[in-house]
Amino acid sequence: MDFITIGNVKIHRTAALAPMASVADRAYRLVCKEFGAAYMVSEMISAKGLCYSDRKTEELCTVLPQEAPYALQLFGEDPEFVGKATAILMKYSPDIIDINMGCPVPKIAGNGSGSALMKDPDTAYNIIRSAVSNSDVPVTVKFRKGWDDDSVNAVEFAKMCQSAGASAVTVHGRTRKQMYSGKADRDIIRQVKNAVDIPVIGNGDVVSGESAAEMYKQTGCDLVMCGRGTYGNPFLFKEIECYLEGKEYTPPTTEEKLEVMYHQAELAVKFKGEKIAMSECRRQCAFYLKGMPSAAQFRNRCGTLSTLDDLNRLIDEVKSVL
């Protein structure tokens, strides 16, 4: 199997799990790892929240050894805070620090963080420099094609990241204006790959083994990253690995999907307690049920899940109509 290295971190060249706020928590990451995710990135961690010792922010930093190799991802618009937060993160022993410069949601970009930094490359440069100077591990940057179609600057931005000391970049092939609509532009990822000497991770519309192989072929990227394609489908990583290695892939049965759904919920309860975990699991359980018999009815029921017993009863009902 092929590998890539980011700094001194060795990663299988199959597929990575994208950092997804309110989705890619410890339970989700562990399940994806069980099915072959080669590299993980945490949910976004607020640099200011970490510096001000926010308890919820610190919870996001807790990663288990079996998740390795993994990155902790920071967001922020102030180089000083990002530098201080990077230094704080060293006590959590991450393999990599990732800086988010691609999040499109208004509450992040509206504060000058995330994808808004693509409009301010000077500040972005200073943020990366500050992180690199305070980190004992490689620093990477995740960004988008550009702010909108009139300001596509991913190539120039990638060169800036490299000059600032980034050890790799991840490019999502959509603009901020697109959010998650339309198709991801793979050619812009190819252009970035041709423009820099550091590893490039390609992100956007990887939903199958075939689409992962196409991402590699069309862009020349060093690693592909999966995001929304993993919703209710951690099996995607196994599918990609099999496809790339020319092995036969057997899709999970409905019963197997239900078992993994329960396993993920059980892990979430272990980490967060039943009340919080089951509230957060409702959306993810609904994704697992997509495409099953009477799916609409059962997915609506997910909105009422409060306990693992509730989930057990729902699973029994789903099995009764198979």
On whether the CB atoms of residues 131 and 139 are closer than 8 A, the answer is yes
Coil, helix or strand at residue 197:
coil
CA distance 98 to 295: 37
DSSP state of 82: H
Kind of pairing between the strands at 9-12 and 3-6? antiparallel
Active-site hit among 32, 61, 103, 302 = 103
Is 103 marked active-site? Answer: yes
**DSSP per-residue string spanning 88-113:** HHGGG--SEEEEEE----HHHHTTT-
Burial of 221 (0-12, 13-18, 19+ CB in 10 A): buried
What's the CA gap between 238 and 249, in Å, rounded? 8
Number of helices and strands in the chain (H, E): 14, 10
Report the run of H or E that residue 4 belongs to, with start and end. strand 3-6
For residue 194, CA distances in Å to 119, 204, 265 come to 22, 18, 42
| Residue 174 to residue 202: CA distance in whole angstroms | 11
Burial state string for 278-308 with b = 16 or more CB within 10 A and e = fewer than 16? bebbbebbbbbbeebeeeeebbebbeebeeb
Residue 99 forms beta bridges with which residues? 74, 141
Whether 9 contacts 223, CB under 8 Å: no
Rounded to a whole number of angstroms, the CA Rg of the chain reads 19
Q: Which residues are catalytic?
A: 103
